């Protein structure tokens, strides 16, 4: 997926509710994604191939705007199910079985290095800052220091 565009990837995986929450949060930070070349890749767990292929693409079944943003990409190709299951299994061993309901996020730099793995709510601004730091080597300071508690 990264071979040509060299984009950073934030992959979110989990049940539908976790994916919706993550994508809605991402929509609030969409300017950051465009400026830092980030692609968000959601992967809904618990769907079989038929359900995954039957997502609406037009008409009355239009997908919500948070799913159709330019920075959101679909996971295509073989191996995603086993990859996500292995990541979920590792997360469950470390944080408990609730990760299957809360979802996980993987932050992957444009060089293919996994920078972070997390469970639950996605701290979008923090992830964008970490990706930017991985490229520039400079730690970004909080733009409004007295509001740091909001970024967690």
Distance CA 133, CA 78 (A): 31
Question: Global pTM?
Answer: 0.79
Tell me, what's the pLDDT at 135?
75
Residues 6+ apart with CB under 8 A from 23: 12, 40, 42, 66, 67, 69, 72
Residue 57 pLDDT level (bands cut at 50, 70, 90): low
Q: In the predicted model, what is the mean pLDDT of residues 105-117?
A: 90
CB count, 10 Å around CB of 83?
15
């Amino acid at each position: 997926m990264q071979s040509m565009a060299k984009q950073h990837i934030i992959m979110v995986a989990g049940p539908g509710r976790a994916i919706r929450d993550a994508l809605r949060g991402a929509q609030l930070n969409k300017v950051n994604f465009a400026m830092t070349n980030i692609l968000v890749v959601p992967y809904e767990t618990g769907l079989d191939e038929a359900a995954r292929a039957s997502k609406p693409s037009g008409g009355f079944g239009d997908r919500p705007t948070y799913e159709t943003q330019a920075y959101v990409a679909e996971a295509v190709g073989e191996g995603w199910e086993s990859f996500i299951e292995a990541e979920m299994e590792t997360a469950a061993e470390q944080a408990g079985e609730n990760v299957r309901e809360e979802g996980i996020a993987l932050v992957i730099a444009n060089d293919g290095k996994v920078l972070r793995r997390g469970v639950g709510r996605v701290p979008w601004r923090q992830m964008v800052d970490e990706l930017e730091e991985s490229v520039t080597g400079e730690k970004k300071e909080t733009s409004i220091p007295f509001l740091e508690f909001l970024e967690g």
